């Protein structure tokens, strides 16, 4: 009993092809996106738009920077010192030379910076006779300080997002969730 029907696997492929064409036709743009090249071009354009919009939100950036500066003022810590704390917050012990390289600062300036953080008990220095080989870690006081900075930035950001319409808040929440799951590098 032989029929002229195509084999089941070919029918499935044909049905999948039709479904893909239908979905493609629903995508924005003239007649949908017909090739992977079109999709790449659309994403590239979207990334360009994102970059342009980020540049245009200078007022928000200004407020974040000024607020951070006000929050840091009582601590008497400089931005490079706070950067060193964030660097050590990943849990990897580092010597002064490694910290200097990652911050893009001179060894001598970084040595003074780290000594100040150790004296303030934000950083713990490993035990050893050779200061060049001492490994530094974030101390609990440093972790608490960073947590307070992070909370302040989060509260400020939520305040800005709260003023958006509900639909736009949802978009921001989705974008933040996507960014939170990615390695920033």
Condensed to tens digits (0 to 9), the pLDDT of residues 27-50 reads 555 544 455 556 656 666 677 777
User: Looking at residue 74, what is its pLDDT?
Assistant: 86
- The pLDDT score that the predictor gives to residue 37 is 58
Mean pLDDT score of the chain: 79
pLDDT band of residue 69 (cuts 50, 70, 90) is: confident
* pLDDT surpasses 80 at 111: yes
Q: Please report the DSSP string for 120-133 in residue order.
A: TTSEEEPP-S-GGG
Place 161 in a pLDDT band, splitting at 50, 70 and 90.
confident
The Cα–Cα gap between 123 and 116 comes to: 9
Dihedral sign, CA of 81, 87, 89, 95?
negative
Question: Is 81 within 8 Å of 113 (Cβ atoms)?
Answer: yes
Tokens of residue 96, six digits: 């002064």
Sequence-distant (6+) residues with CB within 8 A of 77 are 85, 120, 122, 145
Q: Phi first, then psi: give them for residue 32, nearest 5 degrees.
A: 80, -175
pLDDT computed for residue 132 by the predictor: 65
Per-residue pLDDT band for 75 (boundaries 50, 70, 90) equals: confident
Q: What count of other Cβ atoms lies within 10 Å of the Cβ of residue 60? A: 13
State the Cα–Cα distance between residues 5 and 177, nearest whole angstrom.
48
Chain-centroid distance, C-alpha 70: 23
pLDDT at position 10: 57
State the pTM of this model. Answer: 0.64
Answer CATH for 76-139 from 1.10.10.10, 2.60.40.1080, 1.10.760.10, 3.40.800.10: 1.10.10.10
* Alpha helices per DSSP H over the chain: 8-26, 36-56, 58-72, 79-88, 96-103, 107-119, 140-162, 166-180
């Amino acid at each position: 009993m032989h029929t002229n029907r195509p084999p089941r696997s070919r029918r499935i492929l044909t049905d999948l092809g039709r479904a893909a064409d239908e979905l493609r036709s629903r995508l924005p743009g003239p007649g949908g996106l017909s090739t992977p090249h079109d999709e790449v071009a659309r994403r590239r354009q979207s990334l360009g738009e994102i970059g342009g919009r980020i540049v245009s939100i200078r007022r928000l950036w200004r407020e974040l920077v000024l607020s951070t500066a006000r929050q840091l003022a009582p601590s008497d810590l400089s931005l490079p010192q706070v950067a060193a704390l964030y660097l050590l917050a990943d849990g990897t012990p580092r010597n002064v030379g490694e910290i200097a390289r990652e911050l893009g600062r001179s060894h001598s300036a970084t040595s003074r910076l780290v000594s100040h953080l150790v004296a303030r008990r934000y950083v713990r220095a490993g035990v050893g006779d050779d200061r060049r080989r001492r490994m530094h870690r974030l101390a609990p006081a440093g972790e608490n300080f960073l947590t307070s900075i992070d909370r302040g930035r989060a509260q400020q950001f939520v305040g800005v997002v709260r003023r958006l319409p509900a639909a736009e808040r949802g978009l921001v929440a989705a974008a933040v969730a996507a960014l939170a799951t990615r390695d920033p590098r």
